[in-house]
Amino acid sequence: MDNTVTKEETNYLRIANLLLRVAPLAVRVRFDIEFDPLMLQKTLNQSRSQKLEKLRHKGIINSKQWDLLFPRTVITKSSVTFENMRQTSLIINPHNAVLPHRCLTSPFVVGIPVSSTFDITLMICLIRNLTSIQISDSLPLQVNTNLGADLSRIKYYRNQIAHCDDGILDDQTFHTYWDDICQALIRIGGPMYVQICADVKMSKLDQNDKEVLTEIRNLSRKTIPKVVLGIHGSKIQEWEENSEKIVETKAIMNLKDLIYKNGIVSITGPPGCGKSTAGQFVALYLQNYHGFDVVPANFPSEIFQYRNPERKQVFVYDDVCGKYEIEIHSVNDWIKLSPDIGKILTRNGVKVLATCRYNISRNKQFEKIKIFSKVQCDLYSHENSLTTDERILIAEKFLGKEDVDILKGHTLLDKYDMFPLLCRFYSRKHTGSVTEFFSRPVDVIKEDLESLMDADDQTSYATLALFVLCNNCIKAEMLSSSSSIKSILEELADRCTLRHVFSLQVVK
């Protein structure tokens, strides 16, 4: 053996070989018992919506593994053998074009999933979630040698090796790992693995075996940490559940067109008009129809942190740079990172959707972030604002027919910009008169006011109070330096917590 491979590295490489080369074969023996190869496709299809899609959204099943579970392939004549013809029911037509049975007009076929393409992580995941076998993340006690415990052992040691940064194992650790893993493999795969494990232990290693270190680490390497993926998955699942009540308005259709043609689109409008809903719906559209991974994000740095060059990704920001008040530190981060973000967005694999309230998007500090001003989808513009017909469709998603008819009769459909929010709020929390609620949505307004009052910077609340004191009518001449309004500003500044001086310039 090459002298540059140390004894501790050799220990590591032997365990890695055992887990990477041998363990998948043994686990596959058991996998094919649990999942009859002839019934595998049916089993996966039956479990797709209820279990597998949830695992995918949580990041437990990655995109590559998903494609193995539900493959779509291009069939060529050279790829056809007797075996895969039997498995995929292919036929060759008289013109020598290889076509799938029941789909003779397209070279794309829904492939048949085969366990031989599954890695050990995917097989253990399916056994854990689709059978009654109990598999844990921790190392079982030595006395526990049932099937679930042995699969847990393999899973545990595989993770230990994959997350070993220095690639070395001392002799004592090596022998402990080796004995435990080999006994588990023999119980899982059968007596034949006694000799297989012995051969791996005595086989000659050389420098080329260091590729095993890279390979096994690549198996567990994810751009986004597992914990974060879980959080993202929960959010995306909630978006999907909410999407059942979304009406595809002309604004959403325009947003689809804008994000298809551009790398970044900011979605602006007043509170409650459907900005977040539109952004989430279009993100899911990119995921389901264009193969994008959805990444809910909060900070601009996450574009660099979670960028995966091998995947198409759409980063979704809700209330970017603040909701009730402008977040200056966030503005500065976007300004600082915008040039590098722009370079990433010039490539076809990354898109950004960002929602922003008018009180933020029209702030002079926010306007300094040039990448957000290039392409905007204003939901309150003439082109995108909700029509009466769209409002009726939205109401029908949340309210009963009788309530919708009442709104029509009292001409309450077009009274508020935040109509989508009111429909959702009423369906969840309100039990009183639909006429009273949509005439005077006190609960919604109160909730928004309380949020404004609780903000660290109450500038928005002070500005709103100024409009109330002036009967919602502030003329240009009132904002001159000689106006008596300055005394009102001073009074409001004394009563509110403000980050900056409440000046005429701030009000403008």
Q: Decide which of 346 and 160 is more confident.
A: 160
User: Would you say the C-alpha torsion 158, 223, 356, 421 has a positive or negative sign?
Assistant: negative
Note the pLDDT of residue 507.
Answer: 57
Q: Which are the contacts of 287, defined by CB distance < 8 A and separation ≥ 6?
A: 293, 294, 314
Above 70 in pLDDT, residue 506? no
Domain boundaries, the chain: 7-71+113-220, 79-111, 226-378, 388-440, 456-507
Q: What are phi and psi of 451, to 5 degrees?
A: -65, -40
Note the pLDDT of residue 83.
Answer: 43
Confidence class for position 99, pLDDT limits 50, 70, 90:
very low
Note the pLDDT of residue 415.
Answer: 84
Above 70 in pLDDT, residue 94? no
Digit-coded pLDDT (tens) for 24-40 = 999 999 999 999 999 99
Digit-coded pLDDT (tens) for 123-174 = 999 999 999 999 998 899 999 999 999 999 999 999 888 766 567 889 999 9
CB 460 within 8 A of CB 363: no
Note the pLDDT of residue 326.
Answer: 85
Note the pLDDT of residue 345.
Answer: 85
Arithmetic mean of pLDDT, 415-424: 85
Note the pLDDT of residue 58.
Answer: 73
Q: Decide which of 469 and 335 is more confident.
A: 335
Note the pLDDT of residue 1.
Answer: 41
Q: Which are the contacts of 335, defined by CB distance < 8 A and separation ≥ 6?
A: 368, 369
Q: Decide which of 326 and 486 is more confident.
A: 326
Above 60 in pLDDT, residue 209? yes
CB 206 within 8 A of CB 2: yes
Digit-coded pLDDT (tens) for 441-461 = 766 566 666 666 666 666 666
Note the pLDDT of residue 497.
Answer: 65
Confidence class for position 400, pLDDT limits 50, 70, 90:
confident
* Secondary structure of residue 203 in the 3-state scheme: coil
Q: Which are the contacts of 121, defined by CB distance < 8 A and separation ≥ 6?
A: 65, 155, 158, 219, 220
CATH 3.40.50.300 holds for 226-378: yes
CB 267 within 8 A of CB 255: yes
Mean pLDDT in the chain?
80
Note the pLDDT of residue 479.
Answer: 61
Distance of CA 32 to the CA centre of its chain: 31
Percent over 90 (pLDDT), the chain: 40
| C-alpha distances in Å from residue 228, one per residue of 225, 241, 355 | 5, 20, 21
CB 213 within 8 A of CB 165: no
What whole-number distance in Å separates Cα of residue 460 and Cα of residue 453? 9
Note the pLDDT of residue 508.
Answer: 53
The structure's pTM equals 0.52
CB 271 within 8 A of CB 278: no
Digit-coded pLDDT (tens) for 292-344 = 899 999 999 899 888 887 788 999 999 999 887 888 889 999 999 999 898 88
Confidence class for position 477, pLDDT limits 50, 70, 90:
low
- Helices 120-130 & 147-162, crossing angle to 10 degrees? 140
Q: What are phi and psi of 268, to 5 degrees?
A: -115, 165
Q: What are 98's two structure tokens?
A: 């290889």
What whole-number distance in Å separates Cα of residue 8 and Cα of residue 109? 48
Confidence class for position 272, pLDDT limits 50, 70, 90:
confident
Q: What are 361's two structure tokens?
A: 């998007």
**Which stretch of DSSP H or E encloses residue 402?**
helix 401-409
Arithmetic mean of pLDDT, 207-219: 55
Digit-coded pLDDT (tens) for 55-83 = 887 778 888 898 899 987 544 444 444 34
Residue with tokens 């609780």: 454
| C-alpha distances in Å from residue 155, one per residue of 123, 128, 182 | 11, 11, 13
Above 90 in pLDDT, residue 498? no
